[in-house]
Structure 1
Amino acid sequence: MDEAWLKGLRNKLRVKAPTIEADGIRQSRRVSGQYSYVVEKNAYHSVICYVQKGLGKENEIIETVIKIILGIQASARLTNYYLHPFSFGWDDNKLHHRKSAISIIARVSSAMIINELCKLAGSELSGTSIIPALFPPTSLYSKKSNVRGHDLLVFICKDRSVQLSELSTAAYNRVRRRSLWIFINNDKPEWEFGTFKPEVAGDSQKET
């Protein structure tokens, strides 16, 4: 990846970041201690990463993308949010996850996030490239139950043959404008932000 590729991606993510409300901490001048307040920031409310099965060996591109995203969030001084790591393309047609989100706080280790994503994806490619869902069942995951307009969705895929389940199409269309797609393309990576429309899989491919 050359510098133009990196700069273009970084600029696009920064420009497209929504304005969100976040908690802040301010020192009181009259009373000893601190108090919280709400401030507007140009950042993503949470980051949701989907890595295709078998791409765990692509740790270099995963590291590059994650560091750019963390840098943008940090530049907005957003120091407390969540990153949700998922993996798709499994033979059981389910979204694989680590049961809980990764809490991103100040000085979080990017190496830990990259390791979790690579571990989830593994190194053995499967014959399917279907994204069965955008979020796992609430009872199996956490309080968050779906993607929202202020989230950043990051899809890391082998190529553009990736498919989306019909069940998830409507939800994806609502948040597509803040979706980042990374296509490995045999070590010739491409990225597309906010415009990619994956092919819709048939009814028989819905997650059960």
Structure 2
Amino acid sequence: MRRLFRILTIATLGFIANTASTLNAFAEDTTSCPAVLNHKFKRLQDESAQDLCQYSGKVTLVVNTASYCGFTSQYEGLEALHAKYNPKGLVVLGFPSNDFGQQEPGNDKQIADFCFNTYGVKFPMFTKTSVKGKDVNPLHAQLIQATGTTPKWNFYKYLIDRKGNVVAAYSSVTTPDDKKLVADIEKALAQ
């Protein structure tokens, strides 16, 4: 009888330890999303809600975009950057905005069609949003606060490391193949 009691006690303690371990792992998973990525946005193509926490642990390049801008051709370079470094952990996130010169007047379907049909954009894009001013989306509000710099024009870029730290901001004239930008991405990927 004592032996049976011991076996049941050991089994019960093992069950409790496994349950506690599982609960701890669950708690870590739910808290591992960095604050800067702890947002939901609608996907450009179909407006389904997307949780940016899915990019936790990745190096993230956040770019505000526009279809009718002198920098619009950067879509091609951003897609190339995403394709080259995505297997190593980079994700480019595009946020169309009409904040600068009214250069993104279209609706979400028009923007999605333009991006894919003109530049073959496959990196994640989200519905049109504001990246400055009183209507700034919460992600860009945090990026602005972290860097002390607001986007000055379309194709302004912010780099976030794997831990959710905002590493740097880059002006619109910084192209996706800029040596400093690429070096910063590679450094963040190596960490």
TM-score range, shorter chain: 0.3 to 0.5
Q: TM-score, normalized by length of structure 2?
A: 0.32
Q: Which has the larger radius of gyration?
A: 2
Q: Where is the helix percentage greater, Structure 1 or Structure 2?
A: 2
TM-score normalized with structure 1 length: 0.30
User: Which structure has more strand as a fraction of its residues?
Assistant: 1
Structure showing greater relative contact order (alpha-carbon pairs closer than 8 Å, 6 or more residues apart)? 2
